[in-house]
């Protein structure tokens, strides 16, 4: 929904009702994931996509009908293998789409905000269309309209937020009839913090920017940290690790790469990062360097549990040695951590 905010403003400017359809479940090789949205007015103006094919036309018609009757509905689109490519649902994929007569205020607020929020909506069963908001600190706001276990729903929502993946879950109610709830995830923008303005950092920043990271490069050496070398970085910080990390703020959406290869910078930076909520902490250096560094960090009071969070040597083994190849290996590992991927080959 975040990518459709400008379209929503344009479509709603005329005062016409704007409805929404959101993908809640996917089976097979449907081209759009859970959370993909399509906006439409009753007279057929559309924005966004739920399938990439002619299912869009059918979905727009469903939205128009929802606007007319004023109630939501869960709709299933499935396609035979013979017509799969024609309609955009590859390999005979099937999708379920929740169609609503309007874009709810809580969805708009979550899309416009900084993230760290899940909007939980009943899409099937008791309390259809009711929703509540779960925030990353565990706070739950609103009344969903179904008599279910709110604590269980909160836990499932926080798990989805940690995975950064919207999903549909089934929950029991006090009446015994199950309900299906769509957990629409609005994660925080991931933040890459690089300490060490070296050549690999210069290659890493533009790759991370392309994947939506806010990029920050810090170093205590002014000669390394120049705007000419880091044209695409969102922020440059000339400081030692403690001051740099204090200014940045290391939270659960932060990915830290320590690349200076200088113990007087690396080890203070790692001691701080490993004790923080940062989602990923990686450090450059050979296995021998890593082993010696771990012993020094342990002697400085870093616990074994904290050291277990350290990705070092940093990155996946892709075999490359050039700065851009090393940067790609680092970003590949960050991506695997972000989404819970294994890093294994997909093919045989």
- Tens-place pLDDT, residues 134-192: 999 999 999 887 788 999 999 999 999 999 999 999 999 888 889 999 999 999 999 99
CATH 3.40.50.720 fits 191-339, yes or no: yes
**273 pLDDT tier (thresholds 50, 70, 90):** very high
Q: Which range (7-16, 17-26, 80-89, 260-269) has the least confidence?
A: 80-89
**239 pLDDT tier (thresholds 50, 70, 90):** very high
Q: For the sheet containing 254-258, what is the strand order?
A: 235-238, 214-219, 191-195, 254-258, 280-283, 310-311
In the prediction, which pLDDT does 90 show? 55
Bridge partner residues of 46 (DSSP): 40
pLDDT at residue 320 greater than cutoff 60: yes
Residue 182 CA to residue 118 CA, distance in Å, equals 10
Is residue 72 within 8 Å of residue 99, measured between CB atoms? yes
In the prediction, which pLDDT does 175 show? 80
DSSP run (H or E) holding 162:
helix 150-163
**82 pLDDT tier (thresholds 50, 70, 90):** low
Contacts 24+ apart (CB under 8 A), 151-155: 153/120, 153/181
Q: Tell me the whole-structure pTM to 2 decimals.
A: 0.82
pLDDT at residue 54 greater than cutoff 70: no
In the prediction, which pLDDT does 195 show? 98
Q: Which of 149, 195, 186 is nearest to 35 (CA)?
A: 186
- The alpha-carbon radius of gyration of the chain (Å, integer) is 23
Number of H helices, E strands in the chain: 11, 16
Q: What is the mean pLDDT of the chain?
A: 92
């Amino acid at each position: 929904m975040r990518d459709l905010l400008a379209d929503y403003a344009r479509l709603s400017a005329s005062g016409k009702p704007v409805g929404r359809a959101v993908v809640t479940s996917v089976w097979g090789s449907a081209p759009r994931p859970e959370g993909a949205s399509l906006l439409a007015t009753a007279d057929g103006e559309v924005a966004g996509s739920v399938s990439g094919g002619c299912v869009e036309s059918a979905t727009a018609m469903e939205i128009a009908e929802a606007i007319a009757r004023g109630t939501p509905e869960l709709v299933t689109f499935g396609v035979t293998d013979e017509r799969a490519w024609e309609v955009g649902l590859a390999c005979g994929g099937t999708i379920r789409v929740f169609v609503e007569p309007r874009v709810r205020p809580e969805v708009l607020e979550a899309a416009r905000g900084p993230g760290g929020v899940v909007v939980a909506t009943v899409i099937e069963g008791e309390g259809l269309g009711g929703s509540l908001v779960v925030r990353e600190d565990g706070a739950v706001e609103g009344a969903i309209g179904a008599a279910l276990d709110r604590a269980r729903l909160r836990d499932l929502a926080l798990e989805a937020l940690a995975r950064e993946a919207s999903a549909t879950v089934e929950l029991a109610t006090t009446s015994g009839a199950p309900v299906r709830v769509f957990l629409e995830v609005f994660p925080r923008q991931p933040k890459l913090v690089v300490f060490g303005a070296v050549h690999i950092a210069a290659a890493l920043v533009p790759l991370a920017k392309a994947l939506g990271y806010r990029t920050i490069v810090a170093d205590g050496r002014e000669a390394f940290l120049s705007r000419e070398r880091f044209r695409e970085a969102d922020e440059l910080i000339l400081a030692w690790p403690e001051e740099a990390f204090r200014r940045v703020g290391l939270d659960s959406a932060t990915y830290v790469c320590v690349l200076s290869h200088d113990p007087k910078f690396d080890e203070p930076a790692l001691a701080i990062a490993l004790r923080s909520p940062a989602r990923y902490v990686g450090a450059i250096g050979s296995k021998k360097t890593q082993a010696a560094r771990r012993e020094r960090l342990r002697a400085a009071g870093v616990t074994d549990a904290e050291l277990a969070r350290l990705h070092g040597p940093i990155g996946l083994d892709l075999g490359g040695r050039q700065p851009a190849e090393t940067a790609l290996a680092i970003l590949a590992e960050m991506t695997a951590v972000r989404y819970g991927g294994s890093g294994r080959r997909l093919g045989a």
